[in-house]
A and B are shown apart, each in its own frame.
Chain A
Amino acid sequence: MSARLSHPSAPLTRRGFNHLVVGAGTAGAIGLTAACAVEPEDVEQEPADSDEPVELNFVWWGDAGRAEVTEAALDLYRADHPNVTITTEYQDSGPYKDKLATRIAAGDAPDLMAIRRDQLREYGDRGALTDLRTIEGMDLAGLSEPVLAPWDVNGELIGVPAGLNTIGFIIQTTVLDEYGIDLPDGDTWTWEDLATMANAITAASGGSIYGTAYEMATVANLYVWVRQHGEDLYTEDGQFGASETTLQAWFDFADEMRQAGGFPPAGFFDGTTSAAEASYIAQGRTASQIIPTNNFKSYNEACGGTLALLRIPGESTAPRRGQSIDCPHLWSISSQSSYQAQAAELLSFLTNELTAWEAMGTTRGVPPNAEVAEGLLPNLETDDVTATEYILGLQAEDLPPAFADPVGATEIQSKLADVAVEVEFARITSADAAAQLVATANDVLAG
């Protein structure tokens, strides 16, 4: 080979060169995508009482730990249903979302699947998901109306919560102790109290730790803020309900804390940290942040068991309550599945059986079936009890309704992420950001 390379031959001829480039160019350019179409239509169903071998494909997103406990629950089901084979798949949420779209497009939809809240209607409105109320074997009796109502779209129940969840504020109490700052009362604290505490922590630590940090572009955080201002991010009829004033105030509030020092500077969140152990609060770089409450145990363990879990500020002082029982993670059954009754039976087991939840724990949140939730409580570890009681407490309160995100929510979230960064780096004003977000949202939802 090296002998040939060093052979003193003449340089490449034009003809030889042209052949090469045309070949290489065509090969590269031709590698573009295409897809084949699948129209949802009635699929012949295996009877519910069938003893025939049934193969269910069940997919979700999450880590290996979640997979392990889910498999443990599935093993219980398998033991009772010898004719049912359950194949499972899981991966991280980003790739999961993309893979699911591809599978459904390819006519290879899983029978039972986890769906993100913001994508439920993307699939449901287009007929890819089955109305769970119509399937034999689906037991919804233990789920209360407020738990199911948000997912009842156009008269069809297209998802049930895989677990109830909400967001909460975690605060590192050791930092407060170190600097002699009082822990706010989670039932009465306001956003101003948060700012005061955050600015005081940063000042007292000489800037070595920031008082608070939460992502402006996380839609779950924004939901609460918008509701507290008497509005809804998305209304029941699928419109964008947040006003420019409210959105501007959302960006302004963090910006003011940033200027006062309580909030980290632009570029602090670099997206490389997602696990609780690697979070900024566990690293000791921030003293408080917002988390989904089902993650409380992992955060508290990562922080040495010294976290306090508070409500989101302003809950008792704002014009309206902001928190609601949300669930980012829903179960749905494919309209393309031939085993809908069998999938519904498995879903009922995962939803209503205490033994299943004892195996799974609160990895997806609190059981949506209140009776199961109460039954699970004595078996939980302290941190999970804290998070579960937090949710059960909220459930007993008069909360504003939650609605499934309309089709197009994904695009609106992209815009929210973009303008949040632009404001953070002072490339546009918060007023511009709010105006752009509203304009984009209205445009996307119109059509």
Chain B
Amino acid sequence: MSTSIAPSTTAPTSAPSRQVGAAGRGSPRRRNEKAAYIFLLPWFVGLLFTLIPFGASLYLAFTDYNLINNPNWIGLDNFEEMLTDEDLLQALKVTGIYTFVGVPLSLLAALGVALALNKGIKGLKYYRAVYYLPSLLGGSVAIVMLWRYIFGNQGIVNAVLAFFGVDGPSWVSDPQYALSVLISLHVWTFGSPMVIFLAGLRQIPIMYYEAASIDGASRWRQFVSITMPLLSPILFFNLVLALIGSLQTFTQGYILSGGTGGPSGSTLFYNLYLYIEGFQRFDMGYASALAWLLLMIVATFTAANFLMSRFWVFYDN
């Protein structure tokens, strides 16, 4: 397991050690960079194949392309249409709630479990794998199907509630609850940020805590004054990634609602709406315009994150 998590865990943590170790030693640093570029090579090759559809998408955003006939240039019409599109508003609302509720909850869960696992318990590798597994499975069709059954009318959740005499709602088919089912799935898949937190926690020099203990600092004080500041770049990294990932959620909504975004638009994620417009309503021009709006939204949130990070992220240099 530890080898499979290597890319995500070593990436943020190995960078400083490389730089620290490289200072004043030119040759190993160059060797390291060379190795990095070799590892990045597949990504650069992939980028070429991405840039062509990227350009096509930009062009199609200004056309009325319907998947079958040639596209016609219609200027900014697609973007104007967005101004009065109620479905788009709903998609933004759903994606917004999912992101701003799900991301903090999942990061909180990830941090909590990482802190617990960092206590040096036996079988750490086993626990790390168990908690990480949902991250690998969470976006898969099978797990969303499973979730649908668990929260269905006759599912386990309602069976447990019935045991306590509570008549559970229809989690999947009630527009009031359907999104909460997916948020719970999102929180359950906290494993990926968890292993990154764990890696970050294990980097904090133990002498800081020893010194603080000698000075009589409480556990909470140590957490607030040592752990959080030193972990803040990791938290920031997780936050940025989780936000970008969350804004691009698709599979969960597609499977839970059978590709409709229902019940009554309650799981109409932005990317699902984009997909419906493109492949179900045959309006790929508009879908392309929506894709570019999403790009701008993601870019804006990421930029805002970076700006705000100045106030709370602590770097040790």
Binding site for B on A (CB under 8 A): 1-2, 4-17, 19-21, 24-25, 27-40, 94, 97-98, 101-102, 104-105, 122-123, 126-128, 266-272, 408, 410-411, 414, 417-419, 421-422, 425, 427
Residues of A close to B11: CB separation below 8 A: 20
Question: Could you show 11 A-B contacts with beta carbons less than 8 Å apart?
Answer: A4-B14, A5-B202, A11-B234, A13-B15, A25-B244, A37-B70, A98-B259, A105-B68, A126-B69, A266-B174, A270-B172
Residues of B close to A31: CB separation below 8 A: 50, 248
Q: How far is the CB of A168 from chain B (nearest CB, A)?
A: 24
Q: How far is the CB of B15 from chain A (nearest CB, A)?
A: 3
A422 with B279: CB separation less than 8 A: no
User: How distant is the Cα of A31 from the Cα of B68 in the complex, in angstroms?
Assistant: 23
User: How distant is the Cα of A62 from the Cα of B230 in the complex, in angstroms?
Assistant: 56
Given contacts A20-B15, A30-B50, A126-B68, contact A94 B259 (CB under 8 A): yes
B57 contact from A17, A19, A33, Cβ within 8 A: A33
Q: How far is the CB of A30 from chain B (nearest CB, A)?
A: 5
B294 part of interface (Cβ distance < 8 Å): yes
Q: Select the stretch in B16-24, B95-103, B107-115, B216-224 that faces chain A.
A: B16-24
Which of A33, A36, A414: most chain B Cβ within 10 A? A33
A5 with B9: CB separation less than 8 A: yes
Residues of A close to B259: CB separation below 8 A: 94, 98
A36 with B316: CB separation less than 8 A: no
A12 contact from B169, B276, B315, Cβ within 8 A: B315
User: How distant is the Cα of A32 from the Cα of B292 in the complex, in angstroms?
Assistant: 8
Residue in chain B with minimal CB distance to A123: B68
B265 contact from A11, A36, A38, A418, Cβ within 8 A: A418
Residues of B close to A7: CB separation below 8 A: 17, 203
A268 with B10: CB separation less than 8 A: no
Q: How far is the CB of B113 from chain A (nearest CB, A)?
A: 16
B56 contact from A34, A126, A270, Cβ within 8 A: A34
B262 contact from A94, A98, A418, Cβ within 8 A: A418
B54 with A267: CB separation less than 8 A: no
Residues of A close to B279: CB separation below 8 A: 98, 101-102
B263 part of interface (Cβ distance < 8 Å): yes
Given contacts A1-B3, A266-B174, contact A17 B282 (CB under 8 A): no
B13 part of interface (Cβ distance < 8 Å): yes
B237 with A17: CB separation less than 8 A: yes
Residues of B close to A4: CB separation below 8 A: 10, 13-14, 17
User: How distant is the Cα of A8 from the Cα of B316 in the complex, in angstroms?
Assistant: 13
B260 part of interface (Cβ distance < 8 Å): yes
Residues of A close to B3: CB separation below 8 A: 1
User: How distant is the Cα of A28 from the Cα of B241 in the complex, in angstroms?
Assistant: 9
The interface on chain B, measured as residues whose beta carbon lies within 8 A of the other chain's beta carbons, has a size of 93
> B163-179 toward A: CB 8 Å interface, digit per residue (1/0)?
00000011011111000
Q: How far is the CB of A396 from chain B (nearest CB, A)?
A: 37
B175 with A425: CB separation less than 8 A: yes
B148 part of interface (Cβ distance < 8 Å): yes
Residues of A close to B302: CB separation below 8 A: 21, 25
B214 part of interface (Cβ distance < 8 Å): no
Residues of B close to A13: CB separation below 8 A: 15-16, 19, 315-317
B244 with A11: CB separation less than 8 A: no
B170 contact from A5, A126, A267, Cβ within 8 A: A267
User: How distant is the Cα of A394 from the Cα of B26 in the complex, in angstroms?
Assistant: 87
Q: How far is the CB of A311 from chain B (nearest CB, A)?
A: 29
B20 with A29: CB separation less than 8 A: no
Q: How far is the CB of A287 from chain B (nearest CB, A)?
A: 18
A17 with B175: CB separation less than 8 A: no
B254-292 CB contacts (< 8 Å) to partner A: 257-265, 274-276, 278-282, 284, 287-288, 291-292
Residues of A close to B234: CB separation below 8 A: 11-12
Residues of B close to A101: CB separation below 8 A: 67, 279-280, 282
Residues of B close to A98: CB separation below 8 A: 259, 279-280
User: How distant is the Cα of A270 from the Cα of B207 in the complex, in angstroms?
Assistant: 56
B21-73 CB contacts (< 8 Å) to partner A: 43, 47, 50, 53-57, 60, 65-71
Residues of B close to A19: CB separation below 8 A: 15
User: How distant is the Cα of A353 from the Cα of B272 in the complex, in angstroms?
Assistant: 43
Given contacts A33-B288, A94-B258, A122-B282, contact A12 B13 (CB under 8 A): yes
> B82-107 toward A: CB 8 Å interface, digit per residue (1/0)?
00000000000000000000000000
Residues of B close to A10: CB separation below 8 A: 16, 20, 316-317
B307 part of interface (Cβ distance < 8 Å): no
Q: How far is the CB of A421 from chain B (nearest CB, A)?
A: 4
User: How distant is the Cα of A418 from the Cα of B90 in the complex, in angstroms?
Assistant: 12
Q: How far is the CB of A118 from chain B (nearest CB, A)?
A: 11
User: How distant is the Cα of A28 from the Cα of B261 in the complex, in angstroms?
Assistant: 22
Given contacts A29-B244, A427-B175, contact A271 B295 (CB under 8 A): no
B160 part of interface (Cβ distance < 8 Å): no
A127 contact from B9, B68, B248, B284, Cβ within 8 A: B68
Residues of B close to A94: CB separation below 8 A: 258-259
Residues of B close to A33: CB separation below 8 A: 53, 57, 274-275, 278, 287-288, 291
B203 with A5: CB separation less than 8 A: yes
B16 contact from A16, A37, A105, Cβ within 8 A: A16
B139 part of interface (Cβ distance < 8 Å): no
Residues of A close to B149: CB separation below 8 A: 272
Q: How far is the CB of B168 from chain A (nearest CB, A)?
A: 10
Residues of A close to B129: CB separation below 8 A: none
B298 part of interface (Cβ distance < 8 Å): yes
User: How distant is the Cα of A31 from the Cα of B47 in the complex, in angstroms?
Assistant: 10
Minimum-distance CB pairs A-B, first 10: A267-B170, A34-B57, A16-B15, A34-B53, A105-B67, A421-B264, A34-B56, A32-B291, A126-B68, A8-B205
User: How distant is the Cα of A167 from the Cα of B265 in the complex, in angstroms?
Assistant: 28
Residue in chain B with minimal CB distance to A98: B279
> B301-312 toward A: CB 8 Å interface, digit per residue (1/0)?
010001000000
Given contacts A19-B15, A33-B287, A97-B280, contact A268 B153 (CB under 8 A): yes
A30 contact from B54, B176, B231, Cβ within 8 A: B54
User: How distant is the Cα of A19 from the Cα of B245 in the complex, in angstroms?
Assistant: 18
- Other 13 A-B pairs with CB < 8 A, given A122-B282, A270-B152, A418-B263: A12-B233, A19-B15, A21-B240, A28-B298, A35-B284, A102-B279, A123-B68, A126-B282, A266-B170, A269-B173, A272-B152, A410-B281, A418-B264
B253 part of interface (Cβ distance < 8 Å): no
User: How distant is the Cα of A98 from the Cα of B287 in the complex, in angstroms?
Assistant: 15
User: How distant is the Cα of A5 from the Cα of B60 in the complex, in angstroms?
Assistant: 46
B130 part of interface (Cβ distance < 8 Å): no
User: How distant is the Cα of A431 from the Cα of B170 in the complex, in angstroms?
Assistant: 25
A421 contact from B237, B263, B288, Cβ within 8 A: B263
User: How distant is the Cα of A122 from the Cα of B262 in the complex, in angstroms?
Assistant: 22
